Amino acid sequence: MDVYYRVQWCVYRWFCKIYFRLEEHGVEHVPDEGPVLLASNHASHLDPLIVALSIRRQLSTLAKKELFKIPVLNWWIRSVGTYPVDRGGGDAKAMKVAINLLKQGKTLLIFPEGTRSADGNLQSFYEGLAWLSLKTGAPIVPFIIEGSYRAMPRKRYWPMPAKIRTEAGEIITPNEMERSVSTSEGVRLLTDRVYEVMCGMQARLRGAPPLTDENDPPEIAGESRGDAKKPGDVSAES
């Protein structure tokens, strides 16, 4: 972490530890160096902050370029590692920015659902996350936030002091089958695998049984894994 980022990290982390009783698990699964795709569920505007405060590496995120036109906000979001993307300019430009960040060895936050969940449950995934991993070789660290939806759901402008817990899972890398088939098939297979892992993580944090093929709890699994969304939205803000 650079000095300015670390100062903010310490201040915000202290606040969140008190206000949200922030509790994090599995931080050891995030590599200390090298490119990383950190794939998180998304249910609240708090999520980028909560992810950043839960790990020990400086986090990079993507946000729509319109936010950078606001003077004070522009200065702050740049200082915490946020990079502008043109949401109307097509996925190719956003992917190019993401690839460049990974080539620099950054930890890049991706919300594979593409937008905030309306009910706090995991939604189906866009395929951009898997495509980036296959394209760059960057490992994926699955990450689940539980409680941010209760703290600050949609249409709420100030967070409530709800408890928030996070968990980083074991690294996921493309396997031999995902690399040997066509790109589109490999992306689909890897997307399904990450989705299934994250459903299981969310279930554990909620104290529910792990996800199984015989019993996909709709309140946890969301839409079918076969309904992966295209194209691949890699923006961290919606």
* Confidence at 187, pLDDT banded by 50, 70, 90: very high
Q: Does pLDDT of 27 surpass 80?
A: yes
8 A C-beta contact, residue 145 and residue 5: no
Count of Cβ atoms closer than 10 Å to residue 99 Cβ: 17
SS3 172: strand
pLDDT of residue 224: 41
Query: Which position has the higher pLDDT, 116 or 1?
Result: 116
Q: Could you say which architecture CATH assigns to the domain 3-227?
A: 3-Layer(aba) Sandwich (3.40)
* Confidence at 89, pLDDT banded by 50, 70, 90: low
Compute the distance between CA of residue 235 and CA of residue 70 in angstroms, rounded to an integer. 19
Minimum mean pLDDT range among 160-169, 175-184, 191-200: 175-184
Mean pLDDT, to the nearest integer, of 162-178? 93
pLDDT of residue 217: 42
pLDDT in tens, 92-108: 788 888 999 999 999 99
Which structure tokens are listed for 106?
A: 């950054």
Q: Does pLDDT of 195 surpass 50?
A: yes
For tokens 């200082």, name the residue.
79
Compute the distance between CA of residue 25 and CA of residue 9 in angstroms, rounded to an integer. 18
SS (H, E, C) 37-83: EEEECCCCCCHHHHHHHHCCCCEEEEEEHHHHHCHHHHHHHHHCCEE
Region of 93 (left: φ > 0; alpha: ψ -120 to 50; beta: rest) is alpha
Nearest to 47 by CA among 129, 123, 154, 131: 154
Nearest to 60 by CA among 76, 36, 43, 40: 36
Minimum mean pLDDT range among 4-13, 25-34, 131-140, 202-211: 202-211
List the chain domain ranges. 3-227
pLDDT in tens, 112-121: 998 888 888 9
pLDDT in tens, 114-152: 888 888 899 999 999 999 999 999 999 999 999 999 999
Region of 23 (left: φ > 0; alpha: ψ -120 to 50; beta: rest) is beta
Q: Does pLDDT of 167 surpass 80?
A: yes
Count of Cβ atoms closer than 10 Å to residue 237 Cβ: 21
pLDDT of residue 233: 59
Total count of residues recorded for the chain: 238
Please give the order of strands across the beta sheet that includes 82-85: 23-25, 165-168, 140-146, 36-40, 107-110, 59-64, 82-85
Sign of the torsion formed by the C-alpha atoms of 141, 213, 126 and 147? negative
Mean pLDDT, to the nearest integer, of 163-191? 93
